[in-house]
Amino acid sequence: QSALTQPASVSGSPGQSITISCTGTSSDVGSYNLVSWYQQHPGKAPKLMIYEVSKRPSGVSNRFSGSKSGNTASLTISGLQAEDEADYYCCSYAGSSTKVFGGGTKLTVL
Amino acid sequence: EVQLVESGGGLVQPGRSLRLSCAASGFTFDDYAMHWVRQAPGKGLEWVSGISWNSGSIGYADSVKGRFTISRDNAKNSLYLQMNSLRAEDTALYYCAKDQSARPVGDFDYWGQGTLVTVSS
Give DSSP secondary structure letters for A19-80.
EEEEE--TTTTTT-S-EEEEEE-TTS--EEEEBTTTB--TTS-TTEEEEEETTEEEEEE-S-
- Residue A73 to residues A2, A20, A35, A54, B44: CA-CA distances in angstroms? 16, 8, 7, 10, 18
For residue B100, CA distances in Å to A8, A48, B9, B44 come to 28, 11, 26, 22
- pLDDT value at residue B32: 96
In chain B, which residues have pLDDT < 70?
none
Q: Does B104 touch chain A if contact means CB atoms closer than 8 Å?
A: yes
Q: pLDDT at position A46, please?
A: 98
Q: What is the predicted pLDDT for the residue at A108?
A: 97
Q: Is B1 exposed, middle or buried (0-12, 13-18, 19+ CB in 10 A)?
A: exposed
Q: Does A38 touch chain B (CB under 8 A)?
A: yes
Q: Is B102 on the interface with A (CB under 8 A)?
A: no
User: How are beta strands B10-12 and B115-119 bridged, if at all?
Assistant: parallel
Cβ–Cβ gap A91/B52 under 8 Å? no
How far is the C-alpha of B100 from the C-alpha of A98, rounded, in Å? 15
| A12, A18 contact by CB (below 8 A) | yes
What SS3 class is residue B112?
coil
Among partner residues A32, A40, A97, which is closest to B50 by beta-carbon distance?
A97
| Mean pLDDT of each 10-residue bin along chain A, 110 residues long | 93 97 96 97 97 96 97 98 98 95 97
Give me the pLDDT at residue B106, please. 86
